[in-house]
Structure 1
Amino acid sequence: MGSAPDVYAALKKELEGTRAEVLTPGDEGYRESLKRWSEHCVKEAQAVVKVSSPDDVSKTLRFVKDNKIPFVVKGGGHSTSGSSSIADGLVIDLSKLRSVAVDEEKKTIKAGGGTIWEDVDVEAAKYGLATVGGTVNHTGVGGLTLGGGYGYLSGKYGLTIDNLVSVDIVLASGEQVVASETSYPDLFWAVRGAGQNFGVVTAFTFQGYPQPDPVFAGTLVFLPDKIPQIVEFANTFHEKNDGNQALLWGFSAPPPNNAPVVLVQCFHNGPLAEGQAFFADVLSLEPLVNTTSMIPYPQLNSLLNNSAGFDGRKQFGGGAFKLPLSAPFVSSLHTDFASFCTSHERMNESLLLFETIPYAAVTATPNSAMAFSNRGDYYNVATCFKWFDSGLDGEIREFSKGLLKRASEAAGVVGDEKVRSVEGVGVYGNYSNVDVPVAEIFGKNSTKLADLKNKYDPENLFSRGLRLVPRPMVVVN
């Protein structure tokens, strides 16, 4: 390969006549294009290609393949694994592919590869529709979907990928195909859970559902002394819910007081009186803050946005838990979490979250039905650490892993080989790092995924995320 300036000048020439932009250091807009949700994922790419069409993607893929240029794909830039950033190559940036089209008759929603969930929620609502999206609406549609996708509507309709009708995808060869249950069904199987390893998805088509009414939702804030009562309520949630509710609860120390508190996020897809009755036991605990009310559905996925701003360094981590939980055990997790955060500067906005989202609709689909392998009789528990000192990166990562391992083992999921053999893996791929063993994320589906990887990407062009096969693409500098 020639020098970097020469090769990217050639790429600019290759994309002449299109609306694509090739940005290199010094170009207007280059610095802005490097921004990511987590500051520790910002890397100085040699070039950023803002593609404007599937044809642009095809040309760029053929170019990087011919010139052996390492690359990554960036949708919403929300990952904390760094998989959408690169220092020694090129970023294929999908931000120009940001569009939503609704088919009112079929009740389907088609979202461009660079779309964020706010775009989908707002446009679908114009037609009285919604689909299963993320709980933070500035998350990219692509990243969340390709890794599975849990949302407030999962209790009723399953995962985001369970409601994926088709994808428009550009393969490693540059070929553009539509994958669905009837077209390239084996590829569609792989895309739903491991899509980033198989191509660049330029559009997603989702099934939409009628959502004409507002929902009951909001945040409750308590002092830690209410943990026993909140755990007691969570333990009853499993039997009480009918799929129209969700309960997200956990620990943080948000501004302005920066003091340890317990956060409870309530959701009921129904009238005010029903929502208040369902959550009566926690509403009666006299929360310090109560923002629950009836709100339009598009506003729902913005409620956690304030705790998920774009400043600071961040690290996701994930595990699983079963109900019932014991209050002393949860209190011990809170003590360890709060002690760690308060003993390190500017970590107060970190979060440990028990995502009590009903899973009956999720487990109605077997783990063999698609690549995603985290379906089981359990819930997700997640950490999102936020900090500013780069010297803490390694320490925070190790603490998060240890805390989540303890939570998952004590809850009877991770570490129990019998459970892992009959249920899912107990690890949500979107919360994991790219260096974990493939079997931890895909379980028994790992072998089939490796076979399909060799079929659709035999040269392992898409090698920067979780590696399904051990051999990386040979890079010549």
Structure 2
Amino acid sequence: MEIDGFLGRLITADHTDYDAARAVWNGVIDRRPRLIARCSGSADVVAALRFAHDHELEIAVRGGGHNVAGTAVCDDGIVIDLSAMRAVRVDSAGRTAWVQGGALWSDVDHETQAHGLATTGGIVSHTGVAGLTLGGGLGWLMRKYGLAVDNLRAAEVVTAEGSIVRASTDEHPDLFWALRGGGGNFGVVTSFQFALHSLGPDVVAGPVFWAAEDTAEVLRFYRDFVAEAPDELGSVVRLGTVPPWPDIPDHLHWRPAIAVAFCYAGAVDDGERAVRSLRRFGTPLADVVAPTPYVAHQSAIDDTVPHGRHYYWKSTNLARLSDDAIDVIAEHAYTAGSPLSYAAMFHLGGAVARVPHDATAYTGRDVPHNIVIEGVWLPDQAAGLAAAETAWARQFLQALEPHRAAGVYINFLDADDDSRIRESYGDHTYRRLAEVKSKYDPDNTFHHNKNIHPT
């Protein structure tokens, strides 16, 4: 099989690399595309898109392949695969970086930290830049520097008709607005330009663990603690089991526990003072907060969410951490059947909340906390645990219903959450996104995603 004008690799079902090429992060996803077009640049994307139109093929677009719903791969269609496009070019004087659409956050951190710079990226370094950014972009640095979309300065996009355009505040501003939170609905983003900020090389970072039975007390203290936290302090709460890390005593491995993990985007001495009171609260099981290279912290939890495990997610925004909401979280967090399952809660606010609500398509500006409930099991456990972990996540979400705020983070929606896409944006923003979709993709060519329908 050939594609005119295509210089990358074409992978079909008879290729030895086919099974590896069609696999994505979530091992639940088992789709068989007719063709995987691994692009070498924007011109290859144009050629692959033209081929898909000519042959009336379903189209999926792959960046990092990390979306839990598996939108990066389709059955019996073509995957426009950007995974070979991972270059990062840093302009240290201008404090910007151009990043290709197939890059992972590890690629960005590696290059930017060589210049003492960073931008808001995901909390797992093997997450793709494109998917995380286009959905909004939560990360350790968001309270200080805003979301990934707040640091996006421009993007190169291949549109549904095959044009290569630049989107920024000055060029195609309507498209630029939609890309910052509207997902992959409007074209194939082949490169991103991000603003960079001084950071590191060392930051105060890491988790503190307490026993599961202390969860309610820890969360009440944490609620008051983060209410007064400086913008520099990013934190994520994890409710599950203690991972088997070498710097944690063996007897604690896999014990049910709550962890609060930090990253302080500032001076080490200031960071140590900022987290002191929480580290001293109660009786921690383990405390591994320490000055650490930012790059190392960005990849610290990679091995807790590896490729190939089976994942099922449910998520919601939380109005506030009331005592009743805390009690619900403490009651449900540790009732999963798999020791790999957990819930994670992100603290927003700070710079995220100071961006005008309509400046980007990301809408959760006034949300204090977001929680994602992650059922996780191994492939050989699918028969016994898939139904149980799925039910646990759904029941946990249902129990949180009285405490939910409007909206949900689009990147946390699973394959059975299509009915919640409009909810994630609200009616006004969704209608505006649909208008942009009608302009740049009126035939809904790009629909293998968290789809926004053209008006």
Asked if Structure 1 and Structure 2 have the same fold, meaning a TM-score greater than 0.5 normalized by the shorter chain, the answer is: yes
1:447: how far off? 1.0
**Counterpart in the other structure of 1:420:** none
Q: Deviations over 1:392-434 (max 9, x none)?
A: 5466445424422432532xx43xxxxxxxxxx4310000135
Is 1:248 aligned to 2:231, yes or no?
no
Identify which range, 316-325 or 374-383, moves more after superposition: 316-325
1:255: how far off? 4.7
1:42: how far off? 3.1
Show structure 1 runs of 5+ residues with no match: 1-8, 415-424, 472-477
Query: SS at 1:374's partner residue?
Result: coil
Query: SS at 1:78's partner residue?
Result: coil
Q: In 2, Cα distance between the equivalents of 1:84 and 1:390?
A: 22
The question of whether the paired residues in 2 share the 8 Å contact of 1:216 and 1:293 is answered with yes
**Counterpart in the other structure of 1:469:** 453
Matches within 5 A, 1:320-469: 320-326=317-323, 329-339=325-335, 341-342=336-337, 347-357=338-348, 359-388=349-378, 389-391=381-383, 393=386, 396-407=389-400, 409-410=402-403, 413-414=404-405, 425-433=406-414, 435-443=418-426, 444-469=428-453
**Structure 2 counterpart of 1:311, from 308, 313, 337:** 308
Which letter maps to 1:403? F
Q: In 1, Cα distance between the equivalents of 2:325 and 2:200?
A: 41
Closer, same or farther: CA 306–13 of 1 in aligned 2, 3 Å:
closer
Q: In 1, Cα distance between the equivalents of 2:340 and 2:144?
A: 31
Q: In 2, Cα distance between the equivalents of 1:84 and 1:159?
A: 23
**Counterpart in the other structure of 1:422:** none
**Counterpart in the other structure of 1:227:** 215
Q: In 1, Cα distance between the equivalents of 2:322 and 2:222?
A: 8
Query: SS at 2:236's partner residue?
Result: strand
1:221: how far off? 1.8
Q: Deviations over 1:276-309 (max 9, x none)?
A: 3322233223422221110122122112212211
The question of whether the paired residues in 2 share the 8 Å contact of 1:214 and 1:270 is answered with no
Is 1:83 aligned to 2:71, yes or no?
yes
Q: In 2, Cα distance between the equivalents of 1:275 and 1:107?
A: 24
Query: SS at 2:90's partner residue?
Result: strand
Which letter maps to 2:334? A
Matches within 5 A, 1:135-150: 135-150=123-138
Q: In 2, Cα distance between the equivalents of 1:206 and 1:335?
A: 41
1:231: how far off? 1.4
Which letter maps to 2:266? G
The question of whether the paired residues in 2 share the 8 Å contact of 1:320 and 1:407 is answered with no
Which letter maps to 1:406? A
1:212: how far off? 4.0
Q: Deviations over 1:220-242 (max 9, x none)?
A: 22211322331132122333211
Show structure 2 runs of 5+ residues with no match: 245-252
Is 1:299 aligned to 2:282, yes or no?
no
Matches within 5 A, 1:159-238: 159-238=147-226
**Counterpart in the other structure of 2:276:** 280
**Counterpart in the other structure of 1:53:** 41
1:322: how far off? 3.9
The question of whether the paired residues in 2 share the 8 Å contact of 1:254 and 1:349 is answered with no
RMSD: 2.0
Q: In 1, Cα distance between the equivalents of 2:341 and 2:58?
A: 33
1:93: how far off? 0.8
Q: In 2, Cα distance between the equivalents of 1:135 and 1:68?
A: 38
The question of whether the paired residues in 2 share the 8 Å contact of 1:381 and 1:404 is answered with no
Q: In 1, Cα distance between the equivalents of 2:359 and 2:328?
A: 38
Which letter maps to 2:346? E
Q: In 1, Cα distance between the equivalents of 2:320 and 2:437?
A: 37
1:137: how far off? 0.7
1:325: how far off? 2.9
Identify which range, 282-291 or 49-58, moves more after superposition: 282-291
1:33: how far off? 0.7
Q: In 1, Cα distance between the equivalents of 2:34 and 2:95?
A: 42
Q: In 1, Cα distance between the equivalents of 2:88 and 2:33?
A: 29
The question of whether the paired residues in 2 share the 8 Å contact of 1:155 and 1:361 is answered with yes
The question of whether the paired residues in 2 share the 8 Å contact of 1:249 and 1:354 is answered with yes
Closer, same or farther: CA 271–365 of 1 in aligned 2, 3 Å:
closer
Which letter maps to 1:440? E
Identify which range, 269-278 or 293-302, moves more after superposition: 269-278
Q: In 1, Cα distance between the equivalents of 2:104 and 2:397?
A: 28
